[in-house]
Every structure is written in C-alpha cells, then in structure tokens.
Structure 1
Amino acid sequence: MVFSVKPPPATSRAATHSGAGVTQYLLLASVLRHQIAHGELVQGQRLPTVLELAGQYKVAGITVRQAYGLLKAEGLITSDRGRGTYVSAPPTGIAANLHAAINDPRATDVRFEVLEQCYGLVLPEPLLRGTAAKSAYKSYTFIRKIHVQGGEPFCLAEIYVATEIYKRFPESAEQQHKLAYLLNEYSKIRMQAMQQTLTVAPADMVLAQALGCSFATPMAHMTRRISDESGHIAYAGLFWYRGDRFVLESEYPFDLWLSYPGVAVPQTLAPD
C-alpha cells in the first residue's frame, strides 16, 4: 500500500482534537455510517425523509441531502424518487479475528506495513506525561506502521521502543510481530506495567487517507506505555483505530476493580 501523502509524526501534532470546523454533513454522514455498520440501521430499512432527519438532528435540509449523497456514493444507501431512501448495505460488525488482532499481543492474523523507521531519538514529552524524565531511556527507535487484517487497514501506529531493547529483536521482526510481543520475548529486563489512555476524535485527512476511511469518521485514539522492572519506559506509542474496526476488551476480577481503582485509573493520570 502506498500513500501519496506521508503523515508527519503524530507526536508533533496536538494531542487532542475537536469536532469544531468539521462540516456538519460529514459529521451526520459519519453517524449514519456507524449505525449502518453496527446494524442499528438494517439493510432494507427506510430512512427518515430529509425534513424528518433535519428536525431530529437540528440541521438544515441541505445538510441531510449532502450526507445522503455521500452515503449513496459509498453504496451504503439507495434512493428512489417517490419511494424514499433505504439502507442497501448489510452491517459489517466486528469480526472475531479482529478482536484478537487488536487485543492480543501475540496475534498472528495481522499484517504490518512499516512506513517509516528512525533511530537514536528521545522520547517526546507528551509520552512522558505523569512520569519523571529520568524514567525514559536515553535513546529510542521510532516505527510508524499500518496494521492490516483481512485485507483492510484498521490501525495507524507510531511507537517508540528503547534502542537497547530494539537491538535484541531479530532482523525485520517488526514486520512479522507486534512490538509488545517482541518486547516480552527479547528484553533482558522483565516488563512490569502497561498503561493505556483511550479517547475518541474525528479522522483528519491524513488519518482518513492512511486508514481508507472517510474524513471525520470516528477514530479511537490510544496512548500506550509499557514500563520495565527498572521503572523505565521501554515502549510508548500512539495508535489510531478506525471506529468501525475497533473493539477493546477488558476483564478484571470484580473485587480487584472495586478495591484497586488504579487498575482503571492509574495514579499517574489522577487529577491533582
């Protein structure tokens, strides 16, 4: 897969995004697209009229027409004069093997397309959030890659791995395995903790192009850090998942979750 626009390091972009400035019809189309993908609007179902949907979402009629036009071009809906507008696409849902591709560090049913590698970098300040600078290794290897499952991209990842650990990986191993798996297999120091932060934001043009989705499509944005027993950050990364191809699974013993809130809200992220 070759992209005509090379995305800049996401760590150089703002960490948060806003829906402000995103055209209303794109946002409306994104909502309807999500409902179709997840079976909330089923194949053959008649959609509201332009006036009905405009009233429901408090938007202008032209906004609804533009949103419907976009979904027609994507083959998700059809419209016949005098009969109405109908859903023409079946729900895609989340495939079982996609669950593993996202949640299992050992997953093998994933293809990795490495877009860029850089060496000898320092860990960017945003990825040091809540930790002392001394917790970082002196040097990191940076890898930007696309995760593909079932022939479709579902994740853009930008990951920093401590250089002294990365050097222990077999040659080109990052094209065959997840980096978290390689970290566990080849690091001399045992990994101790993993921390994740998940937010949601609309896709900008760079992400839309990279992941083959529409502009303003909901994206799951995850920041992940893995620390080793020495207390250093061995791995830190940013991940952008297509909203229609994302599922996060977590399971904790109830007593642990109830009595140890740090499982869900790490102390490093707790408000002052």
Structure 2
Amino acid sequence: MNEIKHIIAVASGKGGVGKSTTAVNLALALAARGSEVGLLDADIYGPSQQLMLGVADGERPEQQGGQFLLPIKAWGLKTMSMGYLVTDKTPMVWRGPMAGGALAQMLEQTLWGPLDFLIIDMPPGTGDIQLTLSQKATLAGAIIVTTPQDIALLDARKGIEMFRKVDVPILGVVENMAMHVCSQCGHEEHIFGEQGGERISSQYGVPLLGSLPLDRRIREQTDAGKPTVVAEPESTLANAYLQIADAVREAVATQGDGVVRQFPEIKISDD
C-alpha cells in the first residue's frame, strides 16, 4: 500500500447521479495522461465497475500466498471489485461492519504495486464504508459528484460535510447531467436545473472540476463495457473527463504523497 502516491475517493450523497461513471472515466483519463492508475469499487452492496469495464462474468482475481489478491487489469487500469468475488445473483446481506471489513480487505490485501493514483468508487451516502476508508487510508482528497437538482445538492452538501469532519480535503465537485443537447436540432435544455454545481462549489469554496451533459452515449458506452474515454477518446465528452483529470492532477500536485500509513515512521540519528 505504501507504493500508492495518491488515493482519491469519488463520492456522492445519493445514488443515481453518475458517480460510478465519473469514477471509471476519471481513472481512464488519468491513465491517458500517463499515470499508473488503480480503481477500487468500494460499493459492496451494488458493485458496477465489472460491467462498466467489460470484465467477463466469472473472471476471478488470482491469489498469491493464500492471503493476497492480484488486481484484474482492464483498459490499462488495475482494478478490484466485490463484483469479481461474488456472482451478480448474490445479494450482500451484510450489516455495516461486515461491509467495512470487506472494503478493508480489498484495500489492504490487493497487491496494487506502484500507483500514481488509486481511484475509489464509493457507495452513496455517509455511512460505514466512508468512515472505514477515512480510518484506513490517508486520502489525497474526495471528489463529490452531483446533479443540478436541489434534492441532489442537499445530499451532496452532506457528503462534503462528512469528509470535512474526518479531515479529508474536497478536491472539487463534478456536475453530471448539467444540460441535455437535442441530437436533432442542437437545442440545450437544463432538465434537472441550472448552475447547481456552481452554487455548491461557491458555497463551500471548492473548485467546480467540470460539468457533463446528459448524453445517451455515456450510458451506452459504460453499459457496453467500454467507457467514453476509451470508446471515443477524441470526442468532446472524453475531453471533458480529461480536463477533470488535469484539474485533479494539479490539485494533488502540491500535497505530496498521500499514502496509507500502516506503520509509524522511525528516524535514527546520532545525538
């Protein structure tokens, strides 16, 4: 774990705002910029990265030493997900501490190797998984994903407040479904509200990393196992994710290495 430079949580206050889609495309965009990137699907109850990355059903991570797991590689990323360890018909009927323990195991017992970034796709909400992560890892920061509508912004505020209470810096906000562009006439319509991302960013004094449209291609590409950044690398949609990745790289560049601290640092001097 000490070979990971920056650990970044991609989180949301509520489900359905495109958090997992943002996480996978951000990871791929960072890799496209030349970074070594891992992706951990921390949504224990509803893992989705296996489908989004096009990893075949039944593919399981190899074990090493009877204790450690080797990450599954997909589109240049080193990935781990509960979806690799159970079938899609297996519900995770677990209490919170069991889910937190599963996250800790995937985080600490995966042989990630040297990484510039480990992107963690968090489950929605502010519960056990978020607290476990903040205790187990020194995060470079969290990215809050929201849509412009007021109910999503309300929950996004809770997410920001939660990370601040556990001393995790907020790297910025990503606004999904900011507008819809008609494929026939090009008319733009703000279906879920307007400038919601700007309002919450201004309120908390954090950057608005990017605003993404409500576009059918994003959904179709992730459902097909080939996210936008690799499906259409030259498109305006992929460029939006690349700009978010550039903003994240710039934000963590001044922080130093945000690695997991498992052991105390010992210094020996001749006094």
Which TM-score bucket, shorter chain as reference?
under 0.3
TM-score of the aligned structures, taking structure 1 as reference length:
0.21
- Structure in which a larger fraction of residues adopt strand: 1
